[in-house]
């Protein structure tokens, strides 16, 4: 109890009165203790410097210790330097005051920032250490938070690279309740760039050349850093030639010289050009590539309709699929040309306005159809092999992959041919006559029957009314039978002329393949018709019978229709009575 009476409480601390020798000393000790209140900032003097910190005299009966870690420039401290410290405890377990220089500076800075600076103020800051989401920054002794997103304009790959460095930072938020401050370095950089960009834009002029660095590459172009202003170099302005992707020409970090094409100061946009540094190759394209001239180039692209050939940088010509061969039908350009192949072609047309050049591959050689026309005038005989059959004719190879067509109407003098298979077969060799050659349409018309003389031209000498002839039945119709005579000429035996007796059905008397003897009762060279009669061969056939037979023969024929035509109409019919 006596020990407690010797202690005097002062602001939460006890002063030992047992060591006080007089009442005056007791009062002085009491006043000193009242001047030292925990949580207040006091001024002190460095009285000793140790390796791990300094001793500071704040006027108390004992000096306080401040760790070296609380000083940013500990090596520059000297004895006698005045510093402010925060009195955290009047006496600790060592009977010494617990002091903090760092906290004192932080409190002073906080008061200064909130009262004098405020949000938007720019201060120097030292990047101290990493924390989650950013970096703690020392601004005049106060620890402010710098978010990672506010560290720099571009992407930050490693925030540790910034630790220990000093930068200008801008106060963007002060929270009085939580007593924290958020700062930004990015806003200062962005504002500086904006000012620099505005200044730089004013110095630029359309048409001038500027050096820059490729900053970013996209599918539609590349962004070029012109020293504070990014300009867009569109893919269409990279080269006069074909560019599928900007990366074919440019790489990130590459230094290039570009031309200013357009400046939009309001939107702060600059359009750039690279190809404009060179003359447009299309300016004198007509003189460089006149129609009919031979050119050499490289195949750069193959499409279903043709192949593009690069003649020089920025100039391409198209070889259409139809201009690749005179004689072969090319369905795929890739069957003839391949990408990267060097080819020689002929200029067919130059369209300056649309920047198109038409090229021909086949024009390197003379049109074989013209050569053929010179070699084989109309009426010339040719020998060839049947290569292809159609419903209307047959194609016969003449030479150099050139085919001529024999139409069904030109296959026989005496018969109407409905299908060329009746006369020709694939692979069969035939002699034919050139009827017509059209080099422009690439057509050759051939005649098979023209290779032989027309038997009807001499029909009057071959067959006369009253002559008895023999032949083979080739077709049976309801109204009669067709008989093949010499020279493949058909004659018609009307059903009424098969016998003196009544014949109900032709097949009751004749069948295909039968040999028959008959008399010629009518010859019509203009209509190419021959009328025959079996019963006229019999004895007792009078002149009146001849007239009656001729009338019966004429009756089944349509006006203007020959025997050959009737026979043709019946081709392929299985007529049974």
Judgement on whether residues 125 and 216 belong to the same structural domain of the protein: no
- Give a yes or no: residue 1 inside a domain: yes
Judgement on whether residues 268 and 329 belong to the same structural domain of the protein: no
Q: Please name the helix (run of DSSP H) or strand (run of DSSP E) that holds residue 167, with its range, or none.
A: strand 166-175
Q: Please name the helix (run of DSSP H) or strand (run of DSSP E) that holds residue 286, with its range, or none.
A: helix 285-288
Q: Hey, what are 192's tokens?
A: 């500086």
Last residue in a domain, options 316, 337, 364: 364
The C-alpha angle with vertex 84 and arms to 78 and 89, in degrees rounded to 5, equals 115
Q: What are the pLDDT digits (tens) for 66-89?
A: 999 888 888 899 999 999 898 989
Cα–chain-centroid distance for residue 497?
Answer: 79
Last residue in a domain, options 247, 277, 307: 277
- Give a yes or no: residue 43 inside a domain: no
Query: What gap in Å lies between CA 84 and CA 104, rounded to an integer?
Result: 6
Nearest one of 195, 194, 198, 142 to 169, comparing CA atoms: 142
Query: What gap in Å lies between CA 307 and CA 318, rounded to an integer?
Result: 6
Contact 42, 80 (CB under 8 A): no
Q: What is the DSSP letter of 536?
A: G
Q: What mean pLDDT is reported for the chain?
A: 84
Q: Hey, what are 68's tokens?
A: 């070296």
Quickly state the pLDDT bin for 432 (edges 50, 70, 90): very high
Query: What gap in Å lies between CA 558 and CA 538, rounded to an integer?
Result: 29
Last residue in a domain, options 429, 451, 473: 451
End-to-end Cα distance, the chain: 156
Better-scored residue on pLDDT, 280 or 544: 280
Judgement on whether residues 470 and 564 belong to the same structural domain of the protein: yes
Judgement on whether residues 343 and 310 belong to the same structural domain of the protein: yes
Provide the pLDDT for residue 555: 56
Provide the pLDDT for residue 119: 87
Q: Poorest-confidence range of 56-60, 168-172, 191-195, 228-232?
A: 191-195
Nearest one of 171, 193, 192 to 182, comparing CA atoms: 171
Provide the pLDDT for residue 539: 72
The residue behind tokens 């008959």 is 518
Q: Please name the helix (run of DSSP H) or strand (run of DSSP E) that holds residue 370, with its range, or none.
A: helix 368-375
The answer to whether residue 122 scores a pLDDT higher than 70 is yes
Provide the pLDDT for residue 357: 93
- Give a yes or no: residue 104 inside a domain: no
Query: What gap in Å lies between CA 460 and CA 478, rounded to an integer?
Result: 29
Which residues are CB-neighbours of 394 under 8 A, at least 6 positions away?
Answer: 386, 388, 405, 406, 420, 424
Judgement on whether residues 478 and 524 belong to the same structural domain of the protein: yes
Domain containing residue 401: 376-451
Judgement on whether residues 491 and 554 belong to the same structural domain of the protein: yes
The answer to whether residue 576 scores a pLDDT higher than 80 is no
Provide the pLDDT for residue 201: 84
Judgement on whether residues 257 and 241 belong to the same structural domain of the protein: yes
- Give a yes or no: residue 67 inside a domain: no
- Give a yes or no: residue 263 inside a domain: yes
Judgement on whether residues 325 and 407 belong to the same structural domain of the protein: no
Instruction: Please give the tally of structural domains in the chain.
Output: 6
Model-level pTM?
A: 0.47
DSSP per residue over 399-436, as a string? ETTEEEEEEGGGS-SSS--SSGGGT--TT-EEEEEEEE
- Give a yes or no: residue 57 inside a domain: no
Query: What gap in Å lies between CA 340 and CA 361, rounded to an integer?
Result: 16
- Give a yes or no: residue 458 inside a domain: no
Judgement on whether residues 440 and 383 belong to the same structural domain of the protein: yes
Q: What are the pLDDT digits (tens) for 208-236?
A: 999 999 999 999 999 999 887 889 999 98
CATH code of 145's domain: 2.40.50.140
């Amino acid at each position: 109890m006596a020990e407690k009476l010797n202690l005097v409480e002062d602001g939460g601390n006890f002063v030992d009165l047992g060591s006080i020798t007089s009442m005056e000393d007791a009062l002085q000790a009491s006043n000193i203790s009242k001047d030292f209140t925990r949580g207040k900032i006091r001024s002190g003097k460095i009285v000793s410097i140790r390796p791990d910190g300094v001793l500071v005299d704040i006027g108390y009966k004992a000096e306080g210790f401040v760790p070296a870690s609380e000083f940013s420039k500990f090596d520059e401290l000297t004895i006698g330097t005045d510093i402010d410290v925060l009195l955290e405890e009047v006496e600790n377990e060592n009977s010494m005051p617990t002091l903090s220089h760092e906290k004192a500076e932080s409190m002073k800075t906080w008061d200064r920032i909130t009262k004098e600076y405020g949000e938007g103020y720019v201060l120097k800051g030292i990047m101290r250490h990493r924390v989650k989401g950013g970096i703690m920054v020392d601004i005049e002794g106060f620890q402010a938070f710098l978010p990672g997103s506010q560290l720099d304009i571009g992407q930050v790959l490693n925030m540790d690279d910034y630790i220990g460095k000093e930068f200008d930072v801008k106060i963007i938020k002060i929270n009085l309740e939580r007593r924290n401050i958020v700062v930004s370095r990015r806003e200062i950089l962005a504002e500086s760039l904006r000012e620099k960009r505005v200044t730089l834009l004013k110095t630029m002029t359309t048409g001038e050349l500027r050096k820059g660095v490729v900053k970013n590459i996209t599918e539609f172009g590349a962004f070029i850093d012109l020293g504070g202003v990014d300009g867009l170099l569109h893919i269409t302005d990279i080269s006069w030639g074909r560019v599928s992707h900007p990366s074919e020409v440019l790489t990130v970090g590459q230094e290039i010289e570009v031309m200013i094409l357009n400046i939009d100061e309001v939107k702060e946009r600059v359009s750039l050009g690279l190809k404009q540094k060179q003359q447009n190759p299309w300016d004198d394209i007509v003189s460089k590539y006149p129609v009919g001239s031979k050119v050499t180039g490289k195949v750069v692209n193959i499409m279903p309709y043709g192949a593009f050939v690069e003649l020089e940088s920025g100039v391409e010509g198209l070889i259409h699929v139809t201009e690749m061969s005179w004689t072969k039908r090319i369905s795929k350009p890739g069957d003839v040309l391949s990408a990267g192949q060097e080819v020689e072609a002929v200029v067919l047309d130059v369209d300056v306005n649309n920047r198109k050049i038409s090229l021909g591959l086949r024009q390197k050689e003379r049109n074989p159809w013209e050569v053929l026309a010179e070699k084989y005038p109309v009426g010339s005989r040719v020998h060839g092999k049947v290569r292809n059959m159609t419903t209307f004719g047959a194609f016969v190879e003449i030479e150099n992959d050139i085919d001529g067509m024999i139409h069904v109407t030109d296959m026989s003098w005496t018969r109407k041919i409905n299908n060329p298979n009746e006369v020709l077969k694939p692979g069969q060799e035939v002699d034919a006559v050139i009827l017509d050659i059209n080099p422009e349409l690439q057509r050759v018309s051939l005649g098979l029957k023209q290779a032989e003389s027309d038997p009807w031209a001499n029909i009057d000498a071959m067959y006369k009314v009253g002559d008895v002839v023999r032949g083979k039945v080739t077709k049976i119709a309801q109204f009669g039978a067709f008989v093949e005579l010499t020279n493949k000429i058909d004659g018609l035996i009307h059903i009424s002329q098969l016998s003196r007796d009544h014949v109900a059905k032709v097949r009751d008397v004749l069948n295909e393949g039968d040999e028959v003897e008959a008399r010629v009762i009518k010859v019509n060279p203009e209509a190419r018709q021959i009328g025959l009669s079996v019963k006229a061969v019999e004895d007792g056939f009078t002149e009146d019978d001849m007239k009656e037979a001729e009338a019966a023969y004429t009756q089944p024929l349509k006006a203007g229709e020959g025997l050959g035509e009737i026979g043709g109409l019946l081709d392929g019919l299985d007529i049974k009575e």
